Structure 1
Amino acid sequence: MKSFLESTLTRAWLHRGALACALWPVSLLFHAVSRLRARLFGAGLLTSHRLPVPVVVVGNIFIGGTGKTPLTIWLAVTLRAAGFNPGIISRGHGAAGSAPRAVTPDSLAQDVGDEPLLIARRTGCPVMVGRDRPAAGRALLAANTQVDVIISDDGLQHYALKRDVEIVLFDGRGAGNGFLLPAGPLREPVSRQRDFTIVNAPLLTPRLAATVGGQPFRMQLAGTVAERLTARATRMALADLADLADLKGKRILAAAGIGNPGRFFAMLRAQGLHFAELPLPDHHDFLDQPFARVDADFILITEKDAVKCGQIEHLRNDPRLWVVPVTAQLDGALAEQIVEKCRGCSTA
């Protein structure tokens, strides 16, 4: 029932149909409450904390997966290449407890969340999770005195933490029907101020650029190889896998427990692959053994799902599982602008 309701709303959010219009009055109330909350923080009636280093917030106003994790990884790599020592804070979806907790490459996904664990492994940066973002930031700085800039992953609406740079990410769905929750997919209006706007899409059309506002940069996720989960050093080009499947009749299943599984499937098709699809809920824990009765020679999964599958006994030894890493590709001019803005930030 829950998945049915979610899929119904997701479809409704892309158009101004009967359901969206029926929910529109409720979205006005949501807008009023969220605007009041932002104004209370702005007026100092609700406390907003400043950390002693610049804070870069990566987030979205479109609910659901737009590609924040690959963007956060790209941003950390970019800032490090520019001479910074970045640290990353995150809520940690599904993380155990509320107190700040350090994330290491050996952490359990059930303790710290799948996305922070993936970020820690891909970047090598200090990562701290916690519901209280200012507390997580202070804990990270106390444990890692070399950190001189903090990236807040998915922290756009967490106004309790002051920020110096805001990056808003959209994907090919743009702003959907343009309504706020629950009539549409938006947490805040598109007119919301921000420093940088990024659109995760194969093509940034003038119409798409106009719907998201600002002067958007395009981000593209590139994934061209698969790595065997049981031995990540064993790699195969996706184009070679497509040829193998065509020549020898190998059966392929693609599974994705991310916010927008369709984007993962579309990327694989662009590599010439033909496969059955298994979309799963975002942050799926895989404890229901979704591959137990799957008749496939290859099962392609995302890196986010791999951090969990690799910690489950019956999955980490399944030779059919292959991981498809993705890398965010963005304009070098955007990197320069973000770096310069960070360098120009004053610290407390």
Structure 2
Amino acid sequence: MTDFARRVERGWYQGSPWLTPLRPLGWLVGRVAGRRLDAFRRQRTAPPVPVLVVGNITVGGTGKTPLVVALAQRASECGLSVVVISRGYGGKAGRYPMTVTPSSDPAVVGDEPLLIVRRAGVPVVLDPRRDRALNYVVRELAPDLVISDDGLQHYALPRSAEIVVIDARRGLGNGRCLPAGPLREPASRLDQVDFLVANGGVWPRAVTMHLKPGKLTRLSDGLTLDGEAFRERFGAVHGVAGIGHPERFFRSLAVLGLAVTPHAFADHHAFKPEDLAFADGRPVVMTEKDAVKCQGFDNTRLWMLPVRAALPGTVLDAMIDRALNPDSAPSATAPESVEKERE
């Protein structure tokens, strides 16, 4: 992320007077987004198979990919045939639609689709035009459920249910649309989705989700250590993150008791070995999303920290059921019931 981009982001979330001249443009973006949504609702058609869209209304990472993985795994456990469709941001596929396999090149298919196919074990199909991806998977794979990774604003894609993930710590910033603020659509869009998911905290009417860290895994040989064993062995690390909100990852390392030297890169950064060649010999810990791009590097100091979306299975079931039965009564779960489920 460039210094200018960081300055803009700080202004969105912490306030900055120099953003004031951009407010009219942000208002215009919000108006256009609202009209697009109105047109979509007037012309809305039922998808050929149930489609569950997982997205956000803010720029940057909110934690939706772990939720996509959790939903795909849960639906598969329930006996459903599941396919995930994605834009494949960061990849350079020469043709679409393209099916992702566990051995796909992340430079071609993108980091998030490769992470999803490896973690969830379900087919992932890429196409910037998600409506075309949907038609392809219906024709070729005939799934029981399609999960769209992102695509909330892709209104050419018919959908059965919508989930929006919010970063509960950062919220909606100044509440303004791009470029005056971080919103892709006005905040009122949250009132129209089937489920709100608050990542890392409480939000009105939202289900609370936490990202739980797994064992740290060395990329060179697959060796795993839990957080305590890793801390006792190393103590201090370089934290590397090429994701939408890298500070969240650095905090998760600090929570493990590690002394972290942070290194933030742009979202979907194409890592090179020299990016990770630190002279002090300390371990380099990265996100699982970044690790899929660094597996072949000749560096025994590279580790990854995987995370999973932690929320009750009953909530995942309700989300899946909503997509399968879109005409049923709204089934959003209040945070209180989620906490009760955990106890």
Q: TM-score, normalised by structure 2?
A: 0.89
Give percent identity, aligned residues only.
Answer: 40
Cα distance between partner residues in 2 of 1:111 and 1:333: 36
Q: Does 1:318 align with 2:318?
A: no
Contact 1:98–1:131 (CA under 8 A) maintained in structure 2: no
Q: Does 1:105 align with 2:105?
A: no
Contact 1:127–1:140 (CA under 8 A) maintained in structure 2: no
For residues 68-120 of structure 1, give each alpha carbon's deviation from its aligned partner in whole angstroms, at most 9, with x where no partner exists: 11111011112122221110000001222352100000111111111001100
Contact 1:103–1:117 (CA under 8 A) maintained in structure 2: yes
Question: Matches of residues 77-226 of structure 1 in structure 2 within 5 Å?
Answer: 77-95=73-91, 96-97=93-94, 99-145=96-142, 147-171=143-167, 172-192=169-189, 193-201=192-200, 203-204=201-202, 209-210=203-204, 215-226=205-216
Q: Secondary structure at the match of 2:210?
A: strand
Q: Does 1:228 align with 2:224?
A: no
Which residue matches 2:331? none
* Residue 243 (structure 1) shift: 1.6
* Residue 336 (structure 1) shift: 2.9
For residues 210-242 of structure 1, give each alpha carbon's deviation from its aligned partner in whole angstroms, at most 9, with x where no partner exists: 4xxxx101111111421110122x101122111
Q: Does 1:256 align with 2:241?
A: yes
Contact 1:59–1:156 (CA under 8 A) maintained in structure 2: yes
Moved more, 185-194 or 29-38: 29-38
Cα distance between partner residues in 2 of 1:137 and 1:282: 26
**Which residue of the other structure, out of 222, 228, 231, is the alignment partner of 1:239?**
228
Q: Does 1:278 align with 2:259?
A: no
Q: Secondary structure at the match of 1:168?
A: strand
Q: Secondary structure at the match of 1:309?
A: coil
What are the ranges of 5 or more consecutive residues in structure 2 without an aligned counterpart? 328-343
Q: Secondary structure at the match of 2:263?
A: strand
Q: Secondary structure at the match of 1:42?
A: helix
Moved more, 294-303 or 35-44: 35-44
Q: CA RMSD in A?
A: 1.8
For residues 116-135 of structure 1, give each alpha carbon's deviation from its aligned partner in whole angstroms, at most 9, with x where no partner exists: 01100111101100011011
Which residue matches 2:334? none
Contact 2:234–2:283 (CA under 8 A) maintained in structure 1: no
Aligned letter for 2:88?
G
Aligned letter for 2:216?
A
* Residue 184 (structure 1) shift: 0.7
Q: Secondary structure at the match of 1:327?
A: strand
Contact 1:224–1:271 (CA under 8 A) maintained in structure 2: no
Moved more, 67-76 or 78-87: 78-87
Q: Does 1:58 align with 2:54?
A: yes
For residues 154-180 of structure 1, give each alpha carbon's deviation from its aligned partner in whole angstroms, at most 9, with x where no partner exists: 110000011111000011211111111
Cα distance between partner residues in 2 of 1:86 and 1:337: 16
Q: Secondary structure at the match of 1:253?
A: strand
* Residue 12 (structure 1) shift: 0.5
* Residue 62 (structure 1) shift: 1.0
